Amino acid sequence: MSEKPTTRFTHEEICAILPQQPPFMFLDQAELTGDEVNATYLIRGDESFLKGHFKNDPVFPASIVFEALGQAGCLWVLHNAPERLGGPISASQVLFASMDGAHFYRKSRPGDTLVLKLKLAQLRKPLAIFRGNVWVHDKRVAEIEKVVLAFGMEAPE
């Protein structure tokens, strides 16, 4: 049985692939192995939204934690799906479609490194379905039973 190759991406390489860009990029590095994505994001504390979330007690928003998981899924789709599905996918056509079973367990704060783990559950054009978890220091921060990304569809006029 052969090992699945791992492809590693730096922040700069991720920015070259994804449509999301700083300051709305929440992946510092990523590794893709088969149907899995492992990525990290260091909460620096200078993210503009932390000034108001919450005053004098910055907490990284749960919605942004789930956004980071979505970005990890988007990276997987753009890197792996074209080969599996036999055709190119435009970065501007990968969109969040839905999520189910999203649970948030603990706060994350500046100085924490989010460890994002995402696994493909199903790929069938025009959808990629993932499940994922987020950890900080071996403590579960969040999980999502299903995040659905749509791709390769033209926007209605």
Q: Which residues are catalytic?
A: 53
Closest to 128 measured CA to CA, from 68, 92, 85, 88: 85
Rounded to whole angstroms, how far apart are CA atoms 140 and 112?
12
d(CA 147, CA 157): 26
Cα separation, 40 vs 108, in Å, equals: 13
